[in-house]
Amino acid sequence: MGTFQGIEFLGSFIGAPIGGFIARALNYRSVFLSTFTLMICSLTATFGSSSLREVDARGRQRSRAGMSLRDVIPVLGSWNVSVVCVNSLSRMLVMMGLMSTVFPLFLNQQLGLSVELIGVIVSLRTAGLILATLTCGYLSDLLGRKPIVVGGMLIESACLYLYTLLPSFEAYLFIGSLDGFGGGMTMTSLVVLLSDVVPRNLRGGAVGMYRTFMDIGGFLGPMFFMALFRSMGFNIAFYSAILILAANIVFASGVKTGKTKEDSVDKA
């Protein structure tokens, strides 16, 4: 999981500065056209893959005799699963609402940074994500899921506070990479933590619930944080994100991990 997400974020690391320079050299529309071209290439490669078609065929065969939505919904009755899903929602709320929406405006309006320099900061933040996702999956196997999840959110919270204090571009390069590392620690280990608190026969449905909560957070985040920023300013938006992460730390600390039975949901 960590290796997969590390490769995924490598694309973001490369794409952020390239997008900034394309926007500066040509125009913003060229960025969208370039992205569209890359997505068409990816779509063509995906549909042309015989290996993926075989995996999909096997998955369809299993799903005919698999679980129904009625079997999956009770998974949320577990305190552990509910905490992980809400954590996923909250983190995506912060990531998409603050870091992907308000944060670039903050860098432009407060520090006066250009599009290219904002792209460099975003790239270094993504570099931290890549490093964390590649290493912290293995660390969670050694140290446990909870310490990595909680540690990552502590790092993120500290970085969000430092963003409001340090006004220099050089400082943001360091804080951004550290913030990304904290986010990567949590992102990888949280999914693995979910698999530890859900029976094997319900893990597919639980991951679907997890992703659904994540998408809800991504949908609500920009609206929530932009409204907060417009009415109360940048600092309140950052402080609100810190409070959200602090609440997640408290809840995540109470998750009980252990072996799960394959035919029942952990009610701990």
Asked whether the beta carbons of 57 and 246 are under 8 A apart, the reply is no
CATH of the domain at 163: 1.20.1250.20
Q: What pLDDT is attached to residue 128? A: 85
In a domain, 262, yes or no: no
Decide if 85 is inside a domain.
Answer: yes
pLDDT(68) > 80: no
Q: Is the pLDDT of residue 213 over 80?
A: yes
Q: What is the mean pLDDT of residues 170-174?
A: 86
pLDDT at residue number 242: 93
Structure token digits, residue 94: 């912060």
Asked if residue 265 is part of any domain, the answer here is: no
Average pLDDT over residues 30-35: 85
Q: Does 11 map to a domain? A: yes
Given a cut of 70, whether residue 127 has pLDDT beyond it is yes
Q: In which domain, by residue range, is 45 found?
A: 2-253
**Residue 260 located in a structural domain:** no
pLDDT at 107 over 50: yes
- The full DSSP string for 181-210 is HHHHHHHHHHHHHHHHSS-GGGHHHHHHHH
Q: Is residue 266 part of a domain?
A: no
Q: Buried (b) or exposed (e) across 189-207, using 16+ Cβ within 10 A?
A: bbbbbbbbbbbeebbebbe
pLDDT of 73: 61
pLDDT at 196: 77
Residue 183 lies in a domain: yes
Tens-digit pLDDT profile for residues 70-87: 555 665 667 778 888 888
Q: Does a structural domain hold residue 57? A: yes
Average pLDDT, the chain: 79
pLDDT exceeds cutoff 50 at 264: no
| DSSP letter, residue 66 | S
Would you say residue 69 has pLDDT above 60? no
Residue owning tokens 């730390």: 249
Domain tally for the chain? 1
What mean pLDDT is predicted for residues 158-179?
Answer: 86
- Whether the pLDDT of residue 149 is over 60: the answer is yes
* Helical spans, DSSP H, in the chain: 2-25, 28-47, 50-64, 69-72, 79-94, 103-111, 115-143, 145-163, 169-196, 203-232, 234-253
When pLDDT is averaged across residues 102-108 and rounded to a whole number, the result is: 87
CA distances from 24 to 15, 28, 43, 106 (A): 14, 8, 28, 19
Least confident of 7-21, 98-112, 173-187, 201-215: 7-21
pLDDT at 180 over 50: yes
Distance of alpha carbon 235 from alpha carbon 207, whole angstroms: 34
pLDDT in the model for residue 238: 92
